[in-house]
Amino acid sequence: MLEVLDADAMRAADAHAIAHEPIASLDLMERAANAFTGELLRSPLVQGAGTSFLIACGPGNNGGDGLVSARSLHQKGYPVRVVALEVERTSQDFTANLKRLRDAGMLPQVFDPDAGLDASGCDVLIDAGFGTGITRPLEGRAASFAEAMNATGLPIVSVDLPSGMPASGATPERGQVLVRARLTLTFQCPKPVLLQREWAPWTGRWKVVPIGLDESFIRSLGARQHLLELPDIRRLLPERGAFDHKGDHGHALLLAGARGRVGAAVLATRACVRSGAG
């Protein structure tokens, strides 16, 4: 069972790892981004070593994750192009990874809203714009950046969350600018927004990527929501012996349906049989 954590809780889990593992923030970013890259390369969107990537990086730590992923993909021999929203007013870890990227021989372009994003020759776009760092709708250059990602027509893989999407959810505003991801690889825990149908058109398929945060500390945060997984359900099902009788595993009485409305009864009966009732 997975804890579902909002942005504040995830920041607390990151801070706990930095203080108690201990690990430098820059090294934690490296670990998280490399975990993202590994999962990305196992995705059906990546068709062999010739797959080329366009990586769109915002100015914060989500953008820093994108820079680490760009360097990793480059070192593995994949064609990579990086476009950064900013290169001056950026987070400390972004700045450090920008230097590492340049030292690796890669020179990111700076986003020009008038020109958009040149996706020629690219197969997959990585959205490393803003992740869980957004608390209000995108506007100005940030909104143009997200719109330019969508306009490329490439399949988009978002780092942690699609850009423009608040981790806590709520409801999309009319005309709100959001990156429309084909795949979202979210760090360590699901975010509330990923479980809300209103946001599903933008999240695409999503998957949790473990990054080695302290599970006991995460449990201590007292998440208000949890996500059941298949192993959780399997543990609830009794193991049957080879010669068990159907009556050895209890009986079920279903009171369901009405004339002309048997759908619920059929579904409930099938579920009852599948769950193992006698």
CA nearest to 205, candidates 61, 11, 15, 45: 45
Q: What is the pLDDT of residue 226?
A: 96
Question: Each residue's pLDDT tens digit in the chain (278 positions)?
Answer: 999 999 999 999 999 999 999 999 999 999 999 999 999 999 999 998 899 999 999 999 999 999 999 999 999 999 999 999 999 999 999 999 999 999 999 999 999 999 999 999 999 999 999 999 888 899 999 999 999 999 999 999 999 999 999 988 678 888 899 999 999 999 999 999 999 999 999 999 999 999 999 999 999 999 999 999 999 988 887 777 888 887 777 788 888 878 888 898 999 999 888 877 76
Residue 32 pLDDT: 98
Of 209, 234, 278, 269, which is closest to residue 33 (Cα–Cα)? Answer: 209
DSSP-assigned letter for residue 132: G
Take residue 1 and report the two structure tokens written for it. 């069972």
Tell me what pLDDT residue 207 has: 98
> DSSP H helical segments within 76-214, as ranges?
92-103, 140-151, 200-203
What's the pLDDT at 278? 65
CB atoms within 10 A of CB 183: 21
Where does the chain have alpha helices with state H? 7-20, 25-41, 61-75, 92-103, 140-151, 200-203, 215-220, 230-236, 263-275
pTM of the model: 0.89
- φ, ψ (nearest 5 deg) of residue 126: -100, 120
pLDDT at residue number 34:
98
The token pair at 274 is 């599948």
Indicate the pairing of strand 183-187 with strand 156-159: parallel
Number of H helices, E strands in the chain: 9, 9
Contact 90, 29 (CB under 8 A): no
In this structure, how many other beta carbons lie within 10 angstroms of the beta carbon of residue 175?
6
CATH class of the region 2-230: alpha beta
Contacts of 93 (CB under 8 A, 6+ apart): 25, 26, 29, 61, 64
Residue 186 gets which letter from DSSP? E
Instruction: Give the pairing of strands 109-110 and 2-4.
Output: unpaired
Would you state the structure tokens that stand for residue 224, as one six-digit string? 């208000």
User: Hey, what are 41's tokens?
Assistant: 């390369």
**pLDDT on residue 277:** 76
Instruction: Give the Cα separation of 126 and 78 in Å (integer).
Output: 13
For residue 44, give both structure tokens: 């059906």
Domain ranges of the chain: 2-230, 238-275
Pairwise CA distance, residues 230 & 245, whole Å: 26
